[in-house]
Structure 1
Amino acid sequence: MEEVKTNITLDFFRISNLLNRYGAKMVSEVGLTSIQQWVILRTIINRVDISIGELKEEMLVTKQNMTGMINRLQQLNLVTLFQDPEDKRRTRVKITEEGIHVYEQLKSLRNDFNAQTYHIYNDQEIMVLSDLLGRFVEHLKVE
């Protein structure tokens, strides 16, 4: 069983490398420089507006790294920053119209990629895979 677990771990590393390769190609097609920028845009869209601290927690990066990524997105006019009305010490992030446009382009590329990638599974297998991977991520976040 230890050999199987090791193979799974190594497969995750290989999958990560492959997904990074495909993801980098997708984000470059819409003018982004990193997959993390895509994840940030998606997180902001899903949460409407979010604090930099909340984004940091979601992305599992340092506040310094998050601030740098947000500043680059702001320079591209994809997000805007504003002071939290309830806590003046907190900075919140909101997506701009241009950010929504870029995200919609990515969504189309993502949908094409998903169709090519996940057709080897049926809907039930996709749901099981999603559940297993989600549990694994949550477990590793605690470690």
Structure 2
Amino acid sequence: MNCPEMPALLVIKLAHSIALDMERRLKNYGVTMPQWTLLKQLWQQEGRSQVELQELLGLDKATITGLVQRMSQMELIQRRTDPLDKRVQRVFLTAQGRALEQITTALVEEVNAHALADFSADERDFFLRLLARAFYNSAER
């Protein structure tokens, strides 16, 4: 497939292919991509409110509520009422949720290595710089 005149299409297809690979690998651990993205936010900072997670992930209220409920039932996370504001639910990792960080970090490395398998180190660095610049250019607007 040669579509040099359609970089956006190639980027979309690449992102889709990488996401499918990651989703397939996550499935072995009983985790979906949306669940993993929520876990990633909590690995960076535990105790975020559901509203914060909703905004960070770009999800609507019903979707984040369902996601948090399912992940609580799976014992990946737990909700706690904010001691200063009883209306706010804060989300924390369980030991099981914390343990997935190392596992999924390795999965991300495998997926990236697979996608960039035939690239030299210089090509990989150059490609990533180009992607970052294209992303920056498109995000400016």
Fold equivalence (TM over 0.5): yes
TM score, norm. by length of structure 1: 0.80
The one-letter amino acid of 1:13's match is: I
3-state SS of paired residue (1:61) = coil
CA RMSD of aligned residues (A): 2.2
1:58-103, Cα deviation, whole Å (9 max, x unpaired): 1111010011011111111000101122322111101111001123
Higher relative contact order (CA 8 A, sep 6+): 2
Structure 2 unaligned spans of 5+: none
Q: 1:37 matched to which residue of 2? A: 35
Structure 1 ranges of 4+ moved more than 4 A: none
Query: Residue 103 in 1 paired to residue 101 in 2?
Result: yes
Number of matched pairs: 134
Q: 2:89 matched to which residue of 1? A: 91
Q: Is the 8 A contact 2:81 2:89 kept in 1?
A: yes
**Among 108, 122, 139, the residue aligned to 2:124:** 122
Deviation at 1:127, TM superposition (A): 4.2
Structure-2 change in CA distance of 1:38 and 1:57 (3 Å): same
Query: 1:65 and 1:134 mapped to 2: Cα distance?
Result: 28
TM score, norm. by length of structure 2: 0.81
Structure 1 unaligned spans of 5+: none
Query: 1:79 and 1:48 mapped to 2: Cα distance?
Result: 10
